[in-house]
């Protein structure tokens, strides 16, 4: 069975005019924070990230022993707190651990550290949720084996049948996670990556124009209430989109927020083709002198980059 197929049938709805390559994935995420030192400390003791580079008002973090940057933090000059109020843009950054055993170790670590978190079983993955010191959402999760991801047949508006990944938010059965030593968590393990970003948008059809028609990410789940999930390469989702905070304002320039996330592509030709697709559906690149990036209607910017 090929990735993203069941008995020869494709899972999801392919973008019509351009499809992101199967190897496309989320790269580093850049956040604006109110207190750099506090955020660096938090991501160090909670997630076990190491500081890879640091300058005046910024830091780049990743996994110990690896060269790949996962998270960039930039300190706001005069920050204003949102006091937990919902904003368009970031819903959460989701860090994918290599195994369910790693998730079990992280859960034990989070409990010991007094981290207040929620949890959910999404059938294809298991996750816990919490927030950083500025209230920016974080998911830490592990996937189940791909052949365990449930697939459901849905009828499209035109009567055409299509397959999607079925998902839900069920209680996480902590007692079914692999048994690990109490002190098994030694920091984010080798292979930890940003698995996906989940964004708040005002309208799903408008968001689909950007992420599906423009970037060419396939629709993988579209029947979950108030949400769409899109991805490349048959993954369950590289980007989650929801309207659960529809009507909320975009984060202001002096508020903690998502600045941008990177979509990693195999080569320059693919990046040019994706940019051309974005232009065809009406999205102009922003910050041209700083590279190829596009902003959706709700203030979230994606930067198109080639393999790091």
Q: What is the pTM of this model?
A: 0.96
* Whole-number Å distance between alpha carbons of 35 and 228: 33
Tens-place pLDDT, residues 70-118: 999 999 999 987 767 899 999 999 999 999 999 999 999 999 999 999 9
**119: nearest Cα among 132, 133, 104, 134:** 104
Q: Which residue has the higher pLDDT, 290 or 271?
A: 271
User: What is the mean predicted confidence (pLDDT) over 218-237?
Assistant: 97
User: What is the mean predicted confidence (pLDDT) over 162-187?
Assistant: 96
Look over the chain and give the mean of its residue pLDDT values, rounded to a whole number: 94
The pLDDT value given to residue 85: 85
Count the Cβ atoms, other than its own, within 10 Å of residue 42: 20
* Whole-number Å distance between alpha carbons of 306 and 271: 7
* Domain ranges across the chain: 5-306
CATH number of the domain located at residue range(s) 5-306 in this protein: 3.10.180.10
**71: nearest Cα among 88, 46, 100, 101:** 46
């Amino acid at each position: 069975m090929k990735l993203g197929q069941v008995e020869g049938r494709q899972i999801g709805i392919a973008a019509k005019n351009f499809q992101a390559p199967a190897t496309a994935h989320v790269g580093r995420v850049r956040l604006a924070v109110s207190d750099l030192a506090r955020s660096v400390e938090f991501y160090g003791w909670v997630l076990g990230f190491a500081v890879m580079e640091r300058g005046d008002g910024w830091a780049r973090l990743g996994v110990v022993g690896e060269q790949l940057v996962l998270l960039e933090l930039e300190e706001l000059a005069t920050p204003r707190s949102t006091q937990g109020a919902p904003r368009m843009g970031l819903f959460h950054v989701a860090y994918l651990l290599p195994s369910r055993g790693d998730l079990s170790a992280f859960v034990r670590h989070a409990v010991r550290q007094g981290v207040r978190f929620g949890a959910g079983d999404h059938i294809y993955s298991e996750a816990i949720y919490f927030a950083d010191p500025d209230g920016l959402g974080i998911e830490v999760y592990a996937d189940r084996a791909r052949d365990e991801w449930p697939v459901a047949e849905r009828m499209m508006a035109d009567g055409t049948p299509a397959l999607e990944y079925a998902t839900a938010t069920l209680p996480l059965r902590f007692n079914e996670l692999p048994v690990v030593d109490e002190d098994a968590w030694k920091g984010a393990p080798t292979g930890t990556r940003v698995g996906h970003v989940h964004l708040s948008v005002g309208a799903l059809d408008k968001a689909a124009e950007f992420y599906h028609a423009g970037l060419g990410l396939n629709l993988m789940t579209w029947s979950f209430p108030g949400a769409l999930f899109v991805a490349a390469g048959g993954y369950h989702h590289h980007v989650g989109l929801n309207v659960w905070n529809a009507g909320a304002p975009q984060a202001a320039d002096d508020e903690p927020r998502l600045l941008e996330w990177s979509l990693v592509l195999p080569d320059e030709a693919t990046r040019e083709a994706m940019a051309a697709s974005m232009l065809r559906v009406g999205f102009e690149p922003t910050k041209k002198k700083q590279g190829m990036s596009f902003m959706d209607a709700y203030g979230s910017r994606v930067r198109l980059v080639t393999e790091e």
